[in-house]
Chain A
Amino acid sequence: MAHDTLYASRPRRARRARRAAGPGPLRPLLRWDGAVGLALLLVALGAALLVDGFATAGNVRFLLLDAVAVALVALPMTLVVVTGEIDLSVASALGLCSAVMGRLWVAGLPLELIVVLAVALGAVLGAVNGLFVTAFALPSLAVTIGTLAAYRGLAFVVLGDDAVADFPFEWTDAVAGTLPGGAVPWAMLLTALLAVAFGVLLHGTPFGRGLYAMGNNAEAAAFAGIRVARAKFWLFVASGATSGLAGVFWTLRYASARADNGQGLELSVVAAVLLGGVSIFGGRGTLPGVFFGVLLLATLRNALQLADVPADTLDIVTGSLLIASVVVPNAIARARARPATGRAAPAGEPTAPPRQERPEREDTEDAPA
C-alpha cells in the first residue's frame, strides 16, 4: 500500500514480530481471527434466539448464497493485501465478465465454454492489473482505481442496454441448489474448499510465508531471494480469475447478465478482509479470519434485515464495523503497551508507528528476515 510508511518502522516491527512468536495455536481466541470467529458464533447464536425466522434451513441457505460472491473474491484479496497491495477492481471485473458472458450467450456459444472463457477473461483482467503493478512498478491502489472505472466502463460498452436473462433453468437452479438438508448451498461448499486451498497456500507453503515477508518488507524479501514481482503478478491473476468465477456465479444466481452486476462489491470485500484481521499495510492476517469476517458481515446483515432494520442503518453498521475493526485493536494494543514500555505515545505526535506496540496480532513469526 502506498500509505504505509507514514506509520511503519519496519526493522523494529520485524524484531517485535519475532519476539511475539508464541504458541499461536494455543491461544486462538486472543488472536484477531479467533475473536472474529467467536463474534460470528455469538451473533449467529443471538440471532437464532432473538430473530424470528433466522434459524431455518431456508434462511441459512439465502444467507450463505448472498455471501458466496464476497467470499470468493475475498480469498485472493486476502493474499493480495497480505503482500501490501490491494485490488479495488474486483467488482468491475465481475461485472465485465458477467456482461461478456451475456454477450457470448446471445451469440450462441455453449454455456460450458462461456464459463471457462469468463474465468479466463477474469484472469486476463487480473494480469493487466498485475502487469501495471509489477512490471511498471505502479501503486496498486491507483492502478486498480483506474481499472475499476475502466472495466466497469467496458462492461457497459459490451452489453450496454441489455440484460441477458434467458439462461437455462438447469443451470440457474443448480447454482442456487443446496446439499441435502437444504441449508448449505453447494456453491458455498465449493467456496469453502477453495478457501482451504488458499489457506494452505498462504499458511502452509514457502510461497505463503514469502507473501508475509514481502508484506512486511518487500525489499528485504527481495534480497532474501523471494521473487516479489512474480508472486504479486500471479496473485493479481488469481484475484481476476476468482472475480471472473464470481461473475459466473452472480450471473447464474440472479439469472441475469448485466453490466452493473456487483457494483460496489469491492467495498464489502475490503470491509470483510479488514474485519477478518488482515492489515491494510500488509504482512499480517489469516485466511480463516477473513472467512469468518465474510460470514460475520453476511450474518449481521441477514439478521438485521430479518429484524426489519432499515437499509441506511445497515450501511452505518457496516461502516462502523470496518472502522472499529482497525481502530479497536490499535487502541487495545496501545493501552496494553503503555505500562509495559513505561511511556505513553508522544502526545503531540499522534501518528507514530501503529504496530510497534501490538504484538498480539502478529502472524509474521515465520517471516524470513
Chain B
Amino acid sequence: MPLRSVRIPRIPRTPHSPRGPRRAAAPGRAARLGVAALAACALLATAACSGTTREDGESDRDAGAGASSTATADPNAPLAEDLAVAFLPKQVNNPYFTVADEGGHAAVEEFGGEYKEVGPSEASASSQVSYLNTLAQQHTDVIVTSANDPNAVCGALNSARSAGARVVTFDSDASPECRDLFVNQATAEDIARTQIELIAEEIGGSGQIAILSATPNATNQNAWIELMQQELEKPEYAGIELVTVAYGNDEDEKSFQETQGLLSSYPDLAGIISPTTVGLAAAARYLSGSEYGGRVALTGLGTPDQMREFVHDGTVAQFALWDPADLGYLAAYAGAALASGQITGAEGETFTAGELGEYTIGADGEIVLGPPTIFTADNIDDYAF
C-alpha cells in the first residue's frame, strides 16, 4: 500500500510546565563550566529565565511509542511468505556483521522471504538514520538492526514502525521503546561471568588484571565491564585486582599501543581481558611478537578465525564468543514471527527459530541466544567464522 506521507510517531507528552525559581542559579553553573564569559548578555539572561531544563522533561522520558502492542498473538499462525527483511548492521563490510547477516540471510531463505543487507560504510548513528528512513520508504516488513547509538536511531525506528515495519535489534540494542524485540547474544551477566571465570583460571586465581575495551562510547562493552567489576567483588575473586580499563577504540594501532602501555605501566600484570574482537586479536598479535607472550594471560571475546593462529601458538589458551551467524538467524526468525502475528513481543510468548529450536521472550522484549561458547585449542578447529 503506497503511503502518501509518513506520520511522526505519536508520543504522549506532558504539557510545558511553568518555570520554577531554581533556574536563577543556572548561569552560575555555566561559569563553573568555563563558558561564563559568553553568558553575560541580556539575551541570554532572558533565555535563562524561561528555559527548558533537563528536570522538566523527566516525566516524558519513559513514555513508550507503543506503535504495536495492542494486537494479540496467535502462536499457531504460519510464517508469512514474501516478507521483505532488511538487515541494517552498525556498519557494512564489518566481518562480524557480515557473518551475522549471512546467518540472517539463511533464515530468510528458509522461510521464503526477501533478504537484503544495507548500511553505512562507517559506524555512525546519523547514517544509520538515513538508511532507516530509506527502509521505511521501501515499506520493509522487518528491519533487523544493530544500533550505533541507542537513542539517535530512536526517532527513525519509530517512524519506520509507524510505516508498518517490525523492528528487531540484535547485538546492540536501541532504547526499548523504539523497537519490538531485542535479540541478545547472551545475557550481559553470562558474558561478564564467563570472561572473569576464564581469566581467573588462566592466572591461577590471583593477580592484577586489566581490561582492553573498544571505544569509550561502546554501550555493550561498558555494560559488561560494569558487571565484571561486580563479579570481581565476589569472595572467590578476592585475590584479583582490576587495575584499569584501557580503550583501544577498536583500532589495531591503538589497541597495540594500549596493550603495550598496560604492560609497561603495570609490571606485575598477570592477565588482560579484551571484550572486543578487534582488541583481542590485536592484543594477541602484540603478545605473540613480544617478550610478554606466554607470561601474561589473555582472554576475552574473539572470533575463532581471528584467534586460531594465537590459540595454536599458545598466546591465548581460551576465549569466548557466541556464533554471530546464529545471532542473525535467530533475529531473522524473531522478526518473521512478529510480522506473521505469532508473537507480539510480550514477555512469555514463544516461537520457533528454525533449526535453533524454541525461544521465549523475556522481560523488555528481550530474547537471549544462549550462553557463550568457549573456544580452546581442542575445539577451535571445529568452527569457521
Contacts and interface: CB of A to CB of B under 8 A. Distances in A.
30 contacts: A53-B138, A56-B2, A56-B3, A58-B3, A58-B133, A58-B163, A106-B54, A109-B30, A109-B48, A110-B48, A110-B51, A112-B52, A113-B30, A120-B35, A124-B38, A163-B149, A166-B54, A171-B52, A176-B8, A177-B8, A254-B151, A256-B125, A258-B149, A262-B126, A301-B130, A305-B134, A306-B134, A306-B138, A311-B120, A315-B121
Interface stretch (B39-47, B67-75, B252-260): B39-47
B217 A258 contact: yes
A105 B93 CA distance: 36
A107 B136 CA distance: 36
Nearest to B60: A169
A57 interface: yes
A234 interface: no
Contacts of A117: 30, 35, 38-39, 44
B152 interface: yes
A264 B93 CA distance: 18
A57 B16 CA distance: 30
Contact of B61 (A56, A166, A256): A166
A48 to B, nearest CB: 13
Contact of B33 (A103, A163, A169, A311): A103
Contacts of A112: 47-48, 50-52
A237 to B, nearest CB: 13
Q: Most B CB atoms within 10 A — which of A120, A168, A171? A: A168
B246 interface: no
A206 interface: no
B26 interface: yes
Interface in B77-134: 92-93, 116, 118-122, 124-126, 129-131, 133-134
B121 to A, nearest CB: 4
A212 B279 CA distance: 51
A260 B13 contact: no
Interface in A136-188: 156, 160-163, 165-173, 176-177, 182
Contact of B38 (A66, A106, A121, A162): A121
A255 B30 contact: no
Contact of B52 (A160, A170, A173): A170
Interface in A37-93: 52-54, 56-59, 61-62, 66
Given A62-B137, A302-B134, A57 B38 contact: no
B93 A312 contact: yes
A111 B11 contact: no
A308 interface: yes
Contacts of B116: 308
Interface in B272-323: none
Given A110-B23, A306-B138, A310-B118, A169 B51 contact: no
Contacts of B125: 254, 256, 258
Pairs A-B, 7 closest by C-beta atoms:
A110-B51, A165-B151, A58-B6, A256-B152, A62-B133, A112-B47, A254-B152
A106 B137 CA distance: 35
Interface of A: 52-54, 56-59, 61-62, 66, 100, 103-113, 116-117, 120-121, 124, 156, 160-163, 165-173, 176-177, 182, 250, 254-256, 258-264, 301-302, 305-306, 308, 310-312, 314-315
A116 B29 contact: no
Given A254-B125, A255-B152, A108 B26 contact: yes
Nearest to A298: B130
Contacts of A103: 33
A52 B135 CA distance: 12
Interface residues of B, number: 64
Given A103-B33, A160-B216, A311-B92, A116 B43 contact: yes
Contact of B26 (A52, A109, A163): A109
Contacts of A156: 216
**Which label, helix, strand, loop or mixed, suits the secondary structure of the B interface?**
loop
Contacts of B55: 108
Given A52-B138, A306-B134, A312-B93, A111 B52 contact: yes
A109 B30 CA distance: 8
Contacts of A106: 54
Given A113-B48, A258-B217, A62 B54 contact: no
A260 B33 contact: no
A66 B130 contact: yes
B90 to A, nearest CB: 12
Given A106-B54, A107-B29, A168-B52, A264 B151 contact: no
Given A170-B13, A182-B5, 7 more contacts: A56-B137, A66-B130, A103-B33, A109-B53, A254-B129, A254-B152, A260-B217
Nearest to B22: A108
Contacts of A254: 125-126, 129, 149, 151-152, 155
A121 B35 contact: yes
A137 to B, nearest CB: 27
Contact of A168 (B44, B57, B130, B155): B57
Contacts of A166: 54, 57-58, 61, 151
A124 B4 CA distance: 44
Contacts of A301: 130
Contact of B126 (A105, A173, A261): A261
Given A110-B52, A255-B151, A250 B30 contact: no
B56 interface: yes
B24 to A, nearest CB: 11
